[in-house]
Chain A
Amino acid sequence: MLNDEELVAQSKVGNLEAFSELVERYQKLVYTIAYRFLGDYEDACDAAQEAFVRAFTRLHTFKGDCSFKTWLCHIVANVCRDELRRYKRHPQVFWDDGPVAETDLNPQFILPEEALAAKEDEILLQNLLNCLPPEFRAVVVMRDIQGFSYEEIASQLGCSLGTVKSRLNRARKYLKEGYLRAREFASGAGVAAAGKGEEI
């Protein structure tokens, strides 16, 4: 089996099969990251497709300074960020970079009940991410899911290191509150269900 570098080299000279193999290898990763950013399966599929096509058209700029996987992750993040800018479908509360009002930090104000009622942790966490404003969601996904450094995030988003730190801090506080509330909600529902069971 050929490694990434060999496949990239072959792709650069026009071997479509080689690029197809790269798509096969990374489609899960790209699709998953796109879904974490966008929170919608159909949009994630479109974004993944766009990311691969963008990677293909810019393959000549890939000099091998980092791994192909890292380079591809940067492209997915860019595509999803562009998509998030156009995202107007979900109701969101947008925070500015100034001091956060108390109401903005209160998950009760933003989080819908159904977001907290998810039984699986993965769905609950995705629901929480979806409730974040786009610029905050992008920072959390890039840091905690893609594993980028603060400097890389700042460079990709075109903002200062301080802004990245501030956004990450506030987004995590919000996620923590939501996560704790969901756990209480789940334990409350569990207790209620147990109570109902006893009555029956």
Chain B
Amino acid sequence: MNCQEAQDLFSPYLDGELKPRQKRELEDHINRCRQCVEDLTSLHLAVAAIRSLQETELFPPPQLKARVCGRIKAITRYRRLSLYLTWAAGAVAVLLLTVALNITFSQESQVQSRPGVQEHTPLQAVPPHEEVMAPQAPQVMKQGSKVAGDLGAVQKSEAPPRSQDAKAVQEKRGAPKGQPGEQRLQSGVLPVGVPARKSSQPTLIFALSLFFLVLAFLSWFWWRRIRGFGP
């Protein structure tokens, strides 16, 4: 072993990290080389001086603890808030999703149970009053009660042209003259405006529920990220 090789081993030698064979070889060299002994001694002094820094503890500024506690309190607050937000946004998302699905399925089942809807679509141009109000008059009259008769009379007197229009429409379609209201309800004719709601309302609610779902996920992600203590 030459001096350069020996000097490369000084540092691990002082840390006790040399293998037994390396240690023996180094010690053999040191016993023969005066210069290496001096170098090893001065390195040992410097390392001991650096290690003595362990014993010197510095005094931190007095505001350190207050700053740490302030940040920790803020983190705890944000964490709690994000947890509440997760639950609230999640609940709203589920609620909206349920409502949207409910509307969608109910509309679909209506459409399926009334296959004649497509056939009657030209009637959608008729205002809703004419669809609902007109058939009521003959029905109520048929029951024969006095009050119904009066109401029928009032309706008749108030809106004779409308019932006439409705009859005309019915005749045009070839519907039986006796009970036009019952026939129309059975055939699944919906008032004007319902088909429009069917397409836009659930979509809007779906979009809203998606928004709340994303909000819930983001707040949950944030809560996970800053988690430290229990909730």
Q: Which of A's residues lie within 8 Å of B, judged by CB?
A: 11-14, 16, 19-20, 23-24, 27-32, 35-36, 41, 44-45, 48-49, 52-53, 56-60, 121-122, 125-126, 129, 140, 143-145, 147, 150, 165, 168-169, 172-173, 175-176, 179-180
- Which one, A32, A60, A165, contacts B12 given CB within 8 A? A165
In the bound complex, CA of A44 to CA of B58 (Å): 11
Does any Cβ of A come within 8 Å of B71's Cβ? yes
Stretch with Cβ within 8 A of A (4 or more), from B90-98, B136-144, B208-216, B221-229: B221-229
> Is B54 touching A145 in the complex (CB atoms < 8 A)?
yes
- Residues from chain B with a CB closer than 8 A to the CB of A49 are 64, 67-68, 71
- Which one, A16, A27, A59, A122, contacts B73 given CB within 8 A? A16
In the bound complex, CA of A125 to CA of B51 (Å): 10
In the bound complex, CA of A81 to CA of B8 (Å): 26
Interface centre among B49, B67, B68, B76, by most chain A C-beta atoms within 10 angstroms, is B68
In the bound complex, CA of A143 to CA of B42 (Å): 19
> Whole-angstrom distance from the CB of A43 to the nearest CB of chain B?
12
> Whole-angstrom distance from the CB of A67 to the nearest CB of chain B?
16
Can you list 28 pairs linking A and B with CB atoms under 8 Å apart? A12-B229, A16-B76, A20-B65, A23-B69, A28-B57, A36-B53, A45-B61, A49-B64, A52-B68, A52-B72, A53-B75, A56-B228, A59-B228, A122-B56, A125-B49, A140-B50, A144-B53, A145-B50, A145-B53, A150-B17, A168-B11, A169-B10, A172-B11, A172-B46, A173-B43, A176-B43, A179-B45, A180-B46
User: Ordered nearest first, which 8 A-B pairs have the shortest CB separation?
Assistant: A31-B60, A176-B46, A169-B11, A14-B229, A52-B68, A179-B46, A57-B228, A32-B58
B1-57 CB contacts (< 8 Å) to partner A: 7-8, 10-12, 15, 17, 42-43, 45-47, 49-54, 56-57
> Is B229 touching A11 in the complex (CB atoms < 8 A)?
yes
> Is A56 touching B75 in the complex (CB atoms < 8 A)?
yes
> Is A122 touching B59 in the complex (CB atoms < 8 A)?
no
Does any Cβ of A come within 8 Å of B178's Cβ? no
How many interface contacts (CB-CB < 8 Å) are there between A and B? 122
In the bound complex, CA of A144 to CA of B11 (Å): 11
Does any Cβ of A come within 8 Å of B230's Cβ? yes
- Which one, A12, A23, A53, A144, contacts B65 given CB within 8 A? A23
How many B residues, CB 8 Å from partner?
A: 40
- Residues from chain B with a CB closer than 8 A to the CB of A19 are 72
Give chain B's interface secondary structure class.
helix
- Which one, B49, B60, B68, B227, contacts A179 given CB within 8 A? B49
In the bound complex, CA of A14 to CA of B59 (Å): 28
In the bound complex, CA of A20 to CA of B10 (Å): 44
In the bound complex, CA of A30 to CA of B65 (Å): 12
> Is B227 touching A45 in the complex (CB atoms < 8 A)?
no
In the bound complex, CA of A126 to CA of B50 (Å): 9
In the bound complex, CA of A175 to CA of B42 (Å): 10
- Which one, B17, B43, B75, B226, contacts A172 given CB within 8 A? B43
- Residues from chain A with a CB closer than 8 A to the CB of B68 are 23, 27, 49, 52-53
- Which one, B53, B60, B73, contacts A28 given CB within 8 A? B60
In the bound complex, CA of A151 to CA of B12 (Å): 13
- Residues from chain A with a CB closer than 8 A to the CB of B59 are 28, 31
In the bound complex, CA of A169 to CA of B163 (Å): 106
> Is B71 touching A144 in the complex (CB atoms < 8 A)?
no
In the bound complex, CA of A57 to CA of B227 (Å): 6
In the bound complex, CA of A54 to CA of B74 (Å): 14
Beyond contacts A13-B230, A57-B227, A179-B45: 13 other A-B pairs, Cβ-Cβ < 8 A, are A12-B229, A24-B65, A28-B60, A32-B56, A53-B71, A57-B228, A121-B52, A125-B53, A150-B15, A169-B11, A172-B47, A175-B50, A176-B42
